[in-house]
Structure 1
Amino acid sequence: MGEVQEPRSGCPINAAIEVFGDRWTLLVLRDIVFGNRRYFRELQSHSIEGIASNILADRLKRLVESGLLTREDARPGQRARYSLAEPAIQLIPVFAHLGSWGLRHRPTVRALRVRAELLDQGGPALWAEFMDELRREHLGATSPPASPTVRERLNAAYRAAISAP
């Protein structure tokens, strides 16, 4: 791993911002969490904000170095796969609160707001269920999945929103 820099201060908000407070990091994590994109090309080609390859490579490297992602080393000819580490999974409430704030205070489009609405309505119980689901997918946890899963519910709502007139 790379060298982790000393924080500018001991403030917990500063410590968090230094890890994921830039323009792209939370969006990369969002796409892994909600889009289940685990490979570089998936992340780049499906980025609705149009992340450049050099920026994506830098953010993935930083996320691995900071302990938010793990990277499975690929053999020649294979793609490296990224997985969420526990600290990244614990960002689900942060995503939910950011999405809720964005719903209330920023212009959004229906198709892209539906997941934030569901997370807002579901509250902490849904967030905990989703974190357990992510632990199964990314960390190999063995707790029994709900049916349908949170991701399936979020994706179904998204598909319905984009197909609505």
Structure 2
Amino acid sequence: MQRRSNCPISNVLDIVGDKWSLLIVRDLLFFGKQTFSEIQTSDERVATNILSSRLEKLENDGLITKQADTRDKRKKVYLLSEKGIDMLPIMLEMILWSSKHDPDTNAPQDLVKRIQTDKIQLMSEVVSQLKREG
């Protein structure tokens, strides 16, 4: 991948800086979505062609893996890689920032409080759940 610069923020933006990639990561991290059709049903309603290209990009960048569904070999399942799971602290901080600065956000207040008071344990639980699913 060609970088615009060696700036760490620019590096992250080169990987997930479009308007859809972090939403896909969100769905995999927090909502247990794993298939194309599950991800497509998110509130933001990403178009199928864009979803396909973003999933391919996230896979090429090493944030997700794609494998055959164990129940239906014709379907593909998308799972976060270790690199993708490492986005968890960033995503939690984004939830905190949004809940602080946008009174209309739908961030569950229980989750916001948990991030503020028990982030390490919360991250451990989320990671354990992801590893059970994968």
1:48 matched to 2:43: yes
CA distance in 2, matches of 1:48, 1:120: 26
* 1:163 corresponds to: none
TM-score normalized with structure 1 length: 0.71
Which stretches in structure 1 are left out of the alignment for 5+ residues?
139-165
Q: Calculate the aligned-residue CA RMSD, in Å.
A: 1.9
TM-score normalized with structure 2 length: 0.87
* 1:124 corresponds to: 120
CA distance in 2, matches of 1:90, 1:77: 28
Structure 1, residues 14-46: CA drift from partner, whole Å, max 9, x if none? 11111011111000111111111111011112x
Which stretches in structure 2 are left out of the alignment for 5+ residues?
none
Consecutive aligned runs of 4 or more in structure 1 exceeding 4 Å deviation: none
* 1:21 corresponds to: 17
Q: Is the contact between residue 90 and residue 131 of structure 1 (CA under 8 Å) also seen in structure 2? A: no
Cα distance, 1:135 vs structure 2: 2.5
* 1:89 corresponds to: 85
% identical aligned pairs: 32
